């Protein structure tokens, strides 16, 4: 339904309401990596203090008025990223076979978090920041 049709439906019935809630959780980890076959400095071993932003989305709040408890969401996200902290990413799955780019880190965290979410909650987006000015987002 396009916005014009939705507006017409609301005008006629007064009952079309779509509520979407989003939570944003930040975490971070420090890790080293190197980009295989990259023509430049990033092919050499180097590290980042990665910042990860995870956006969770859902339509319904629970009986406490929460989409999901922040404590539970943070635990799930920490579980998804803890294995990277103070490690050489190229030695870890899936980065033994996949270049540990910012884009691939975002996708890997997205998949890990999505696998542990309760029904009705989805990952809207994961953004991995390798610096204050450069990051990559992944969503489906």
Helix 102-115 and helix 70-81, axial crossing angle in degrees, nearest 10? 130
CATH number at residue 108: 3.30.479.10
Tokens of 138: 């992944």
Q: Among this protein's residues, is 130 annotated catalytic?
A: yes
pLDDT tens-digit map of 70-127: 999 999 999 999 999 999 999 999 999 999 999 999 999 999 999 999 999 999 999 9
pLDDT exceeds cutoff 70 at 9: no
User: The whole model's pTM is what?
Assistant: 0.86
Contacts of 50 (CB under 8 A, 6+ apart): 28, 29, 30, 31, 84, 105, 128, 129, 130
The pLDDT assigned to 18 comes to: 75
Q: Among this protein's residues, is 37 annotated catalytic?
A: no
Residue 103 lies in a domain: yes
The pLDDT assigned to 17 comes to: 60
Residue 79 lies in a domain: yes
The whole domain housing 113 covers 20-138
- The overall longest dimension of the chain from CA atoms, in Å, is 63
The pLDDT assigned to 19 comes to: 86
Residue 11 lies in a domain: no
Q: Among this protein's residues, is 33 annotated catalytic?
A: no
Catalytic residue of the set 86, 93, 119, 133: 86
């Amino acid at each position: 339904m396009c916005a014009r049709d939705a507006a017409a439906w609301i005008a006629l019935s007064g009952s079309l309401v779509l509520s979407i809630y989003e939570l944003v959780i930040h975490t971070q980890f420090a890790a080293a990596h190197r980009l295989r076959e990259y023509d430049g400095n990033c092919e050499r071993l180097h590290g980042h203090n990665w910042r990860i932003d995870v956006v969770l989305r859902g339509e319904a709040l629970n009986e406490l008025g929460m989409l999901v408890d922040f404590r539970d969401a943070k635990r799930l996200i920490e579980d998804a990223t803890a294995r990277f902290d103070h490690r050489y990413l190229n030695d870890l799955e899936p980065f033994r076979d996949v270049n540990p780019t910012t884009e691939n880190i975002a996708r890997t965290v997205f998949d890990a978090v999505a696998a542990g979410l309760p029904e009705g909650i989805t990952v809207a987006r994961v953004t991995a920041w390798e610096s204050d000015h450069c990051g990559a987002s992944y969503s489906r």
